[in-house]
A = this chain, B = another copy of it.
């Protein structure tokens, strides 16, 4: 290993609204030496997800709050270059919270070895067969529990998680309606992913559009956004309907989050259930989901898009694409070449 410099992004300030360039600081750190149990990993693909915004909010979430000066937390896939850990050796692919940096140096414990599945590209392991796939699988099936013929509504449906949720719901025999923010995304949902209907929420009267697209009401609403869309979905919720609270992205950049659920009366009258989950709780059950996701993927029943941005230096500006509606599918920053 010739290089001794580790370029990385650190937290410079807690964003108040949308993350700004000034909230991040580019540092060329030196590489620490390895201690017993440590590994050095060269990061390849850095995953950008809405939850990243919560981690740098300065608030404790389901993980400890990041502090000023910390390397920005982020999930990534990388390749082990040096190891003093008995379970990992140079050349192994791993995934984990490797951070917004070129090299992760630290405990090998907590990193998951990645066994490449034949015919499945590395990037799919990051999405469909990674946290994104597990989020869609367990959120929909374990929390939403859709039944044959039920109507499943998905928000941020052209996003990494939403696009899988809709396809899994189709596999399970549901009517699937997606909400997305452009005509192009809507076409992708209906023409390529098999959604029954898609609504461009930016151009319609949301309440009317939902009533028209979900004529039998909504049995499962998979919520990635919160806010007005959540409220509109509650306005269509069916008897014993279920809301899967996966994300609240509409409000992550808000200084004063607003989820005015005026339709909560319908939630009550319909004896509905709203339940939140975090995929980390399901990691111990990953083995239940991965063979099924792999089978569907190989059979062409799960399609996905990956939106790859080149260069660690572009990570901060790229994060904002999750909030301005400009990305489609799984958003990834390529930090270094794949093997």
Q: What is the total number of copies of this protein in its complex?
A: 2
How far does the Cβ of A217 sit from chain B's closest Cβ, in whole Å?
Answer: 13
Closest Cβ neighbor of A231 among chain B residues? B259
B269 near A278: Cβ-Cβ < 8 Å = yes
Interface residue from B257, B258, B272 paired with A276 (Cβ < 8 Å):
B272
Complex Cα distance A258/B265, Å? 10
Which of these binds chain B: A32-40, A67-75, A76-84, A244-252?
A244-252
Query: Interface range on chain A: under 10, 10 to 19, 20 to 34, or 35 or more?
Result: 20 to 34
* In the complex with contacts A271-B278, A276-B271, A257-B265 CB distance below 8 A: yes
B226 near A269: Cβ-Cβ < 8 Å = no
A212 within 8 A of partner (CB): no
Complex Cα distance A274/B259, Å? 15
Interface residue from B245, B251, B271, B281 paired with A267 (Cβ < 8 Å):
B245
A271 near B260: Cβ-Cβ < 8 Å = no
Q: Which residues of B contact A281 (CB under 8 A)?
A: 271
The B-contacting residues of A in range 42-63, CB under 8 angstroms, are 54, 61-62
How far does the Cβ of A119 sit from chain B's closest Cβ, in whole Å?
Answer: 35
A262 near B269: Cβ-Cβ < 8 Å = no
Interface residue from B61, B226, B256, B262 paired with A264 (Cβ < 8 Å):
B226
Q: Which of A267, A274, A276 has the most CB of B within 10 A?
A: A276
Q: Which residues of B contact A62 (CB under 8 A)?
A: 269-271
Interface residues of A (CB under 8 A from B): 54, 61-62, 226, 245, 247-248, 251, 256-262, 264-265, 267-278, 281
Q: What are 16 sample pairs from A and B whose C-beta atoms fall under 8 A apart?
A: A54-B269, A245-B264, A245-B267, A248-B265, A251-B264, A256-B262, A257-B262, A258-B260, A258-B262, A261-B261, A269-B276, A271-B277, A271-B278, A272-B276, A273-B274, A274-B275
